[in-house]
Structure 1
Amino acid sequence: MNADERCELISEDWLWREKELRTMDYDDLRKKDIVDLKKTILVTYSHWEGHFKYCAELLLNYIAFCVKRKIVKWTDVKEELRLRIIFCCYRKSSLGNQNYDTFIKYLNAVGEQRFSDISDAQDAIIMTDDNLNTSRAESICKNLGVPSFWFSTKKVIIDERILTHRNAFAHGSRTLREGAEISWDDPDLWRSASELRSLIRQTKDQFQNAIQTKSFVE
């Protein structure tokens, strides 16, 4: 798939998520019952994580595609990205292969013209098994050469409000992890859900731009 086709997939993924999110009235959340409020937090967060990692996967596969098809050389990819990708590849290798020889092989691969193992460490590069807090999102962006300014200042919204409550709801808890009671009438919580929805749109825009401009290239 070329860049336009990948960007179209990102748009399609965002559209179905936005259609579902549009059914929720973010402006009237405080008047809804607790179950509706829980649903809003859970669904909004799931689309934030789902769309972000879907976009990251498409970008990673596009980097691998460009290198494999010689659209760009592996050495044309920004050095920091090459180092981070190779580190993830080494970390994802089996314990038996995490030895001196394997380490040197990967280290030498930084300067090779081609590198065919880019997608092998997808789980480590995109952190597929972890919740998407701001620090993990920033790491994924650094791994792929995507700017993170558009969400890096939203730590309170993403981590302390949305994700903390999402985890409590998902585990059937009546309190937050630190033991604090959940405040259902906290206006900041519901405003945060609306802000996270806008960050999902920005996720689409930023990753599409990274693909179209090949921001991963020096």
Structure 2
Amino acid sequence: MASIRTIENLESVLTEDLKWRTHEMQLWEQVASSCRSHQLPGVLRGGVALVYAHWEGYVKEGARAYLEYVSRKGLKVGQLRSEIAAVALRSKLGRGEASKSSLAHTEIVELLRSADALPANIPYNSAMIRTRSNLYFDVFADIMHSIGCDASRHEIYRSIIDKRLLRHRNDIAHGREEYVSLADWVDIRDRVLVILKDVRTQISNAAANEEYKRK
């Protein structure tokens, strides 16, 4: 994968990644629409898993790509907005939190006092984007917050994500006999795409407007 050093690089990654995911979900609808009635339940069960995979996959990849873009700016911690500065310091803060040593806690205090002058080594591997393998709305909102973006505009879709997409997906993943109609599947898919398109827009705008910087 090419490095993400410019806005053009970032735009390309965000656009192409969403494009192939959207195309695959559209193809799945075409397949489902042409199925015989006895084939449809199994196809749609697979379709729910597919929509969830793209929901989690794009949120994770979009956030990862943005953190890589910001990381390659070579900024210091003090130049970053608080949310992204927290990502840069997360591993160090995590070690201090896990330790019972007063020495480790003192080192954390000293780190925080001097952090502004430190190079912002922002980790951007996919493991840093914590979806917890269950991307409920609250988890999605936390990821968006961590990169300085806003999930609250999609609060109207909370129940669709939590009570329809995640519930169906988890029931299917655990082998339960869970069925959805084609109309229901299309509705879930379309709402997910609305959110993902906005994720792309928010990240793109944040990069263009340098919203990763401390005001």
Q: TM-score, normalised by structure 2?
A: 0.79
Q: Deviation digits for residues 33-56 of structure 1, max 9, x if unmatched?
A: 111111221111111110111010
Instruction: Report what 1:177 is aligned to.
Output: none
Q: How does 1:183-202 map to 2 (within 5 A)?
A: 184-185=180-181, 188=184, 190-202=186-198
For residue 103 of structure 1, the aligned residue among 105, 108, 132 is: 108
Coordinate RMSD, CA, aligned: 3.1
Name which of structure 1's ranges 23-32 and 130-139 shifts more when overlaid on structure 2. 23-32
How many residue pairs align between the two structures?
Answer: 205
- CA 1:29–1:190 in 2, change beyond 3 Å: closer, same or farther? farther
- C-alpha distance in 2, partners of 1:214/1:97? 38
Which of 130, 134, 142 pairs up with 2:133? 130
Structure 1 residues 204 and 35 mapped into 2: Cα distance closer, same or farther (>3 Å)? same
For the 8 Å contact 1:61–1:119, the answer to whether it is kept is: yes
Separation in 2, partners of 1:190, 1:16: 17
Residue of structure 2 aligned with 1:56, choices 58, 63, 71: 63
- Map Cα deviations across residues 9-37 of structure 1 (whole Å, 9 max, x no partner): 11111111112112032895996711111
1:206 correspondence with 2:202: yes
Matched, 1:162 2:165: yes
Match of 2:175 among 152, 172, 197: 172
Correspondence for 1:179: none
- Of the three residues 44, 50, 64, the one matched with 1:43 is 50
User: Which of 87-96 and 133-142 deviates more?
Assistant: 87-96
Unaligned runs of 5+ in 2: none
Which residue is equivalent to 1:117? 121
Q: 1:89–1:121: 8 Å Cα contact kept in structure 2?
A: no
Counting aligned pairs with the same residue, the percent is: 20
The answer as to whether partners of 2:66 and 2:203 remain within 8 angstroms in 1 is yes
In structure 1, what is the Cα distance between the partners aligned to 2:182 and 2:40? Answer: 14
Q: Are the structure 2 counterparts of residues 48 and 96 from structure 1 closer, same or farther at C-alpha, using a change threshold of 3 Å?
A: same
Task: After superposition, give the CA deviation of every residue in 1:78-119 in whole Å (9 maximum; x if it has no partner).
Answer: 234424653454226795697313422442244x23334321
Give the partner amino acid of 1:53. Answer: K
Q: Which amino acid aligns with 1:210?
A: A
2:11 is aligned with 1:7: yes
Q: 1:3 to 1:89 in 2, by over 3 A?
A: farther
Q: Does 1:141 align with 2:144?
A: yes
Aligned residues of 2:136 and 2:162 also touching (Cα < 8 A): yes
Map Cα deviations across residues 175-204 of structure 1 (whole Å, 9 max, x no partner): xxxxxxx46349556522321133222222
Matched, 1:24 2:28: yes
Moved more, 85-94 or 18-27: 85-94
Q: Aligned-pair distance for 1:62?
A: 1.9
* Contact persistence 2:83–2:147 (CA under 8 A): no
The structure-2 alpha-carbon separation of the partners of 1:187 and 1:132, relative to structure 1 and needing over 3 Å to count, comes to same
Any idea what the Cα deviations from partners look like across 1:48-68, whole Å, max 9, x if unmatched?
1101110100111222222x2
Taking the aligned partners of 1:81 and 1:149, their CA distance within structure 2 comes to: 18
Q: Which runs of 5+ in 1 are unaligned?
A: 175-181
